Copies of this chain bind each other. A is one copy, B any other.
């Protein structure tokens, strides 16, 4: 006999379908939600509906927005001639957090991954090619993650964009600031040596 009412079981199932949430955690989260006030619980449900209903992709850079253009693309103070290519919105957020970058972004929404069946057609690469083909882009900075799939994706895109004659760069690899040589892996050390700069 199931001891929980079916509506509670449904909520637990939904929570357990989230990434990284197991059966026990889902139960704990469901009890937490039941313990919320009616207003708070409804606000939670509304937040899901609202986000899902209003969030879509920026017409230019494909980042998530609830407007036609995302705040970066809409800002007159950003240099729209420099396009930083990231695999997902979190990448753009990380670079934005550093408060150094003044160009715009292009969000691919994934990386090429033969293992999981993600091909270039599944990503927003076509949109990037259109932006570059329009002739208003002077530099494309590849900022996909420094792993195999990120590298493959960056290499694929740089080859695709080569005919347009646009300048293509990538983020520097090296020792993380504040990091220690002792704990740096071989690949990072090799890259740091290769990319050494004059003092």
Contacts and interface: CB of A to CB of B under 8 A. Distances in A.
Nearest to A25: B20
Given A20-B25, A48-B33, A72 B3 contact: yes
Interface stretch (A59-67, A131-139, A167-175): A59-67
Interface in A79-116: 88-90, 92-93, 96
Nearest to A38: B52
A61 to B, nearest CB: 11
A96 B8 CA distance: 17
Contacts of A55: 5, 7-8, 34
Nearest to A99: B1
A96 to B, nearest CB: 5
Q: How many copies does the complex hold?
A: 2
Contacts of A43: 14
Contacts of A13: 47
A64 to B, nearest CB: 6
A90 B18 CA distance: 21
B71 A3 contact: yes
